[in-house]
């Protein structure tokens, strides 16, 4: 199958130009001046399908490098399966995800890794890779790290919070970092001071402060800044590269920026929720449906931050200046009924997570419309940098000959109403939308995943199992 996308504005991280994109089979064959011939051949006359993208942007498919499909967590399981979550991702212009294999204390890393392959294999609508979570860092986990790098899993997430669930102590963190420094892999860090948070949670609940707002209030920015600083110091000690996930506090951003200015290999990821939502959402004052408990919809960790403190503005600015390098969703959806409501009497029992794998490309495009980032930076933070950060450069995140035919035709004159219900976009397996009522001045028209059209003007044309495992290499950013 040969597809020509003609007359669009092709946007790569490095620049934009009016061009035609020729996809042959699963791969981009050429990016051509509009109407060009190839060695005398009339390209348009020799393809199977022509998509006219005049007046539209043609961009590399989005890469969401932080998702948790059907993750067992918080006494339940994230509500999107690999099937439903990746289909929703496709609807929103994301053509690759990197999800997390979970290893809880006492479990064997490689056994867990194999289990996650069984869960995802044959289920996904788009391509998928894995990071590996390490909790206790056993000797066998260290040898597993080497084996996983060879398997295409070149990044490992550690947690400084969630004692008894995920938390690794500083010694365990250092051991994993030493291994990463020697095998070239990336350490990803959930940077929050878990002991401090556990104490504050205990005190709040004992004082009768049990509503969702207290989730945010018991995870203060100081706990994020301190852990971010500590992680940076431990990475410095060991020489491991460090990627700090879901950064929400401006003080943590500054720790990352300062480390980078000192020449350390440290990177920061933020998420749409930290660019658009705030602690005030945890008050649950948007509707009467759940009373104050509606705030549970926005319980995630790191938490949303108080709007008066200026975190959102700082985050947009840091994204524009490259103090923060990437935007992923940390897609970890739970329904209000039967999942989030486990915490009706006690906020600490609310499963932590927000789902937005479908909306990241739109929400970040709105940042372009609002003048917060450029068009090229949109592509860079949502696609190109994720590919380079996590060993997919050359094949993903760029429109160039030889790259996978992962392409989105995005209409800047279209419109997207986010939310649940008629006329709104919502394909995730959640009974609410964290972005209900958000209006986007743009629209995902067509999504092509390795040469196959999977979304076309409001129709899903893909199939379960279209997605293939991405065997990743090492990060391109390692020095
Ligand atoms: O609240 C969140 N972020 N849930 C998912 C697990 C994690 O820490 O990434
Ligand atoms: Zn985390
Ligand atoms: Zn996460």
Q: What angle do CA 19, 385, 116 make, to 5 degrees?
A: 115
25 C-alpha to ligand 1 centroid (Å) = 37
Please state the atom number of ligand 1 nearest to the C-alpha of residue 159: 8
Per-residue pLDDT tens for 274-313? 999 999 999 988 888 898 899 999 999 999 999 999 999 9
Query: Residue 286 belongs to a domain with what CATH number?
Result: 3.20.20.140
Q: Are residues 156 and 254 in the same domain?
A: yes
Q: Per the domain annotation, does 36 fall within a domain?
A: yes
Domain count for the chain: 2
pLDDT class for 348, splitting at 50, 70, 90?
A: very high
Structural contact between residues 101 and 153, judged by C-beta atoms closer than 8 angstroms: yes
Which domain, by its residues, includes 46? 2-59+396-412+442-460
Alpha-carbon distance of 124 to 449, in angstroms, equals 12
Across 13-149, where does the E strand assignment appear? 15-24, 27-32, 37-38, 41-42, 49-52, 57-60, 62-67, 72-73, 76-77, 94-101, 127-133
Do the domain assignments include residue 420?
no
DSSP 8-state assignment for residue 393: B
Report yes or no on 65 lying in a domain: yes
70 and 186 both lie in a single domain: yes
Residues 7, 75, single domain; the answer is no
- Is 476 inside any structural domain? no
Ligand 1 atom at minimum distance from 299 CA? 1
Q: Which residues line ligand 1 (CB under 6 A)?
A: 68, 190, 246, 300-301, 330, 332, 352-353
108 and 218 part of one domain: yes
Summary count for the chain: helices (H), strands (E)? 13, 23
Three-class DSSP category at 440: strand
pLDDT for 454 equals: 98
Distance of alpha carbon 321 from the chain centroid: 20
pLDDT in tens, 150-191: 999 999 999 999 999 999 999 999 999 999 999 999 999 999
Give the mean model confidence (pLDDT) for residues 224-233. 99
Identify any residues that bridge with 97 across adjacent strands, giving them in sequence order. 64, 128
The answer on 134 and 256 residing in a single domain is yes
β strands within 182-286, DSSP E: 186-190, 242-244, 266-270
| Residue 39: per-residue pLDDT | 78
Please give the torsion angle defined by the CA atoms of residues 302, 303, 304 and 310, in that order, rounded to the nearest 10 degrees.
-60
pLDDT value of residue 287: 83
Six-digit token string for 225:
């800044």
What is the mean predicted confidence (pLDDT) over 371-392? Answer: 98
Q: Is the residue at 161 inside a domain?
A: yes
Mean pLDDT, range 251-271, rounded to an integer: 98
For residue 118, the number of C-alpha atoms closer than 13 Å in the C-beta half-sphere is 6
Q: Is 180 exposed, middle or buried (0-12, 13-18, 19+ CB in 10 A)?
A: buried
45 with 165, same domain: the answer is no
Same domain, residue pair 178 and 263: yes
> For 416-435, how does the pLDDT look when each residue is reduced to its tens digit (9 = 90+)?
999 998 889 899 999 999 99
Identify whether residues 132 and 199 lie together within a single domain. Answer: yes
Is residue 205 within 8 Å of residue 349, measured between CB atoms?
A: no
Q: Would you state the pLDDT for residue 216?
A: 98
In the block, residue with structure tokens 């000959």: 401
CATH number, residue 23: 2.30.40.10
Q: Average of pLDDT values for 340-353? A: 98
pLDDT of res. 479 = 72
Which residues place a Cβ less than 5 A from the ion ligand 3? Answer: 330
Task: Indicate the SS3 state at residue 96.
Answer: strand
Q: Tell me if 474 is assigned to some domain.
A: no
Find the 24 Cα to ligand 3 centroid distance in Å: 35
Let me know whether 140 and 20 are in one domain.
no
> Looking at the structure, do residues 266 and 407 belong to the same domain, yes or no?
no
> Is the C-alpha dihedral spanning 113, 119, 122, 126 positive or negative?
negative
**Residue 435 belongs to a domain:** no
């Amino acid at each position: 199958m040969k597809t020509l996308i003609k007359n669009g504005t092709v946007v790569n991280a490095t620049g934009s130009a009016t061009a035609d994109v020729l996809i042959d089979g699963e791969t981009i064959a050429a990016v051509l001046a509009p109407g060009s011939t190839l060695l005398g051949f009339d390209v348009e006359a020799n393809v199977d399908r022509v998509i006219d993208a005049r007046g539209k942007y043609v961009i590399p498919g989005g890469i969401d490098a932080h998702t948790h499909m059907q993750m067992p967590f918080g006494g339940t399981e994230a509500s999107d399966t690999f099937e439903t979550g990746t289909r929703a991702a496709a609807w929103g212009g994301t053509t690759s995800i990197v999800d997390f294999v979970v290893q809880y204390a006492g479990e064997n890393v490689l056994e867990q890794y194999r289990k996650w392959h069984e869960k995802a294999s044959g289920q996904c609508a788009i391509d998928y890779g894995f990071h590996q979570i390490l909790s206790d860092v056993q000797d066998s986990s260290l040898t597993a790290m080497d084996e996983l790098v060879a398997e295409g899993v070149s990044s490992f997430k550690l947690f400084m919070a969630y004692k008894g669930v995920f938390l690794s102590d500083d010694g365990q963190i250092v051991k994993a970092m030493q291994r990463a420094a020697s095998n070239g892999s990336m350490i990803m860090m959930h940077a929050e001071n878990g002991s401090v948070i556990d104490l504050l949670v205990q005190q709040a609940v004992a004082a009768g402060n049990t509503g969702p707002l207290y989730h945010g209030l018991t995870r203060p920015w100081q706990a994020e800044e301190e852990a971010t600083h500590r992680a940076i110091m431990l990475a410095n000690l060991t020489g491991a590269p460090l990627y700090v996930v879901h950064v929400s506090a401006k003080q943590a951003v500054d720790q990352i920026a300062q480390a980078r200015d000192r020449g350390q290999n440290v990177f920061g990821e933020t998420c749409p929720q930290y660019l658009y939502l705030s602690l005030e959402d945890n008050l649950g004052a948007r509707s009467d449906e759940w009373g104050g408990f509606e705030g549970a919809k926005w319980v995630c960790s790191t938490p949303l931050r108080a709007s008066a403190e200026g975190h959102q503005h700082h985050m947009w600015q840091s994204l524009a200046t490259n103090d923060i390098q990437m935007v992923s969703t940390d897609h970890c959806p739970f329904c209000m009924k039967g999942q989030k409501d486990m915490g009706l009497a006690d906020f600490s029992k609310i499963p932590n997570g927000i789902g937005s794998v479908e909306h990241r490309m739109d929400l970040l495009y709105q940042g372009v419309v609002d003048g917060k980032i450029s068009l090229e930076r949109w592509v860079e933070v949502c696609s190109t940098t994720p590919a380079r950060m996590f060993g997919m450069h050359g094949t993903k995140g760029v429109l160039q000959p030889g790259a996978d035919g992962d392409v989105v035709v995005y209409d800047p004159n279209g419109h997207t109403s986010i939310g649940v219900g008629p006329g709104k976009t919502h394909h995730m397996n959640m009974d609410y939308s964290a972005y209900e009522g958000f209006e986007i001045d743009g629209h995902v028209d067509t999504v092509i995943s390795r040469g196959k059209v999977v979304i076309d003007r409001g129709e899903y044309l893909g199939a379960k199992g279209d997605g293939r495992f991405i065997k990743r290499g090492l990060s391109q950013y390692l020095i």
